[in-house]
Structure 1
Amino acid sequence: MGGFHTFPVERADALEDPSRYRYCSREELVSMLGLDDRDDSTVADLGSGTGFYTDDVAPFTDTCYAVDVQSEMHETYREKGLPENVECVTAGIDSLPFPDDHLDGAFSTMTYHEFSDPAIRSFEGTTDSFHDEALAELARVIRPGGRLVTVDWSADGQGEDGPSVDERFSISDVRRGLESAGFEVIRDDDRPETLAIVAICPE
């Protein structure tokens, strides 16, 4: 079961607002993905929208998939202009059309709350007994040792931008969700309004 909702297509222009870099810059994203010195990787942008961050990451990859459940977002992205190495994929994160271990990495910017299972917020068991379909699918398609980068609105933020606080996850929620799917969290930063987590796919 996924999160609350997807971003409204009629507000797609807002996804091109340069002020988004206040919360995550191109440099930070590329660095967290470990793409600084390689250009032969295959990476997916999870919940790509109009391709705002896809455009930033694509030059550092061989192939960058723009994954979004809304085909209308891809249409908007195509009208804007697709980089040559970007392929649009219309799919939910819990049912990705990739073979096992196909991706070297994947990232989501402000979309984790849209696809992850909100039940983790109230889950009191061990992470071994929690199953998030979207995160399990990411563990399947990212190669062993590949990176999953998550930047999202934090439940500990003020809620002045982005979704309401009750739709967000805390950094501990995200960490527990990732660990339940077998990921190893190697970095977690809780910032004033957002969180950033880098996780390694299980070997």
Structure 2
Amino acid sequence: MGFHTYDVDRADALEDPDRFRYCSAEELRAALAVDTDATVADLGSGTGFYTDVVAPHVARCYAVDVQAAMHDLHREKPVPASVEFVTAGVADLPFADDALDAAFSTMTYHEYASDAALAELSRVVRPGGRVVTVDWTATGTGESGPPTDERFALGAAVSAFESAGFTVERAQTRVETFLLVARR
């Protein structure tokens, strides 16, 4: 797999509203299914495209990205009051055990997928909490997103989450992407 980070010089593409064709704001919030007092994290938040559609509906939304430059770009927009920026990799999150009610990632799982990252999610997401993952599928055409050899098939992602102690509640393949909802 690629295990790369998104090129900051191309970050303007992350603000393209056409991205909602892969996962709408409503679908993401419905999959998270959290209360308004929830604490959630956007894993690989980039410029905050999806962070900003979740954050107004929760008490705290951590925008987690390994690249501080992405946070700088996010700050150039109006940032919802509930957003807190965290510069970290998913395998090394600076949160206490069971600190998150939920976490989500959109088009970034292929960048951090590892046993260490999923173990870390298992540590920081509270029992009963959800992790929602929308990512490019290995069975896609490759017309959008990373090359298909840098992607995961839905079955591999399901197996990885189950091996990390999650229960997969929903797993769906789409044309270029998959949606996975796992509960700790």
Q: What TM-score comes out, normalization by structure 1 length?
A: 0.89
Q: How does 1:86-125 map to 2 (within 5 A)?
A: 86-117=83-114
Aligned length: 184
Please point out which of 117, 124, 131 is paired with 1:134: 117
The structure with the larger Rg is 1
- Match of 1:49, SS state, is coil
Q: Distance in 1 between matches of 2:142 and 2:3?
A: 16
Please point out which of 35, 53, 56 is paired with 1:56: 53
- The question of whether the paired residues in 2 share the 8 Å contact of 1:3 and 1:115 is answered with no
- The question of whether the paired residues in 2 share the 8 Å contact of 1:139 and 1:181 is answered with yes
Determine the structure 2 residue equivalent to 1:71.
68
- The question of whether the paired residues in 2 share the 8 Å contact of 1:3 and 1:116 is answered with no
Query: Residue deviations 1:61-120, cap 9 Å, x none?
Result: 000000000000000001112211100000000000000000000000000000003xxx
Determine the structure 2 residue equivalent to 1:10.
9
Q: Distance in 1 between matches of 2:48 and 2:75?
A: 9
Q: Percent identity?
A: 62
Query: Residue deviations 1:17-70, cap 9 Å, x none?
Result: 0000110000000000003xx200000000000000000001110000000000
- Match of 2:29, SS state, is helix
- Which residue identity lines up with residue 65 of structure 2 in the other structure? D
Q: What TM-score comes out, normalization by structure 2 length?
A: 0.98
- Match of 1:81, SS state, is coil
Change in 2 beyond 3 A, CA 1:146/1:3:
farther
- Which residue identity lines up with residue 22 of structure 1 in the other structure? R
- Match of 2:91, SS state, is coil
Superposed displacement of residue 3, structure 1: 4.8
Determine the structure 1 residue equivalent to 2:30.
31
- Which residue identity lines up with residue 48 of structure 1 in the other structure? S
Q: How does 1:191-202 map to 2 (within 5 A)?
A: 191-201=174-184
Determine the structure 2 residue equivalent to 1:162.
145
Please point out which of 152, 156, 173 is paired with 2:135: 152
Q: Distance in 1 between matches of 2:3 and 2:112?
A: 8
Listed as ranges, the gaps of 5+ residues in structure 2 are none
Listed as ranges, the gaps of 5+ residues in structure 1 are 118-131
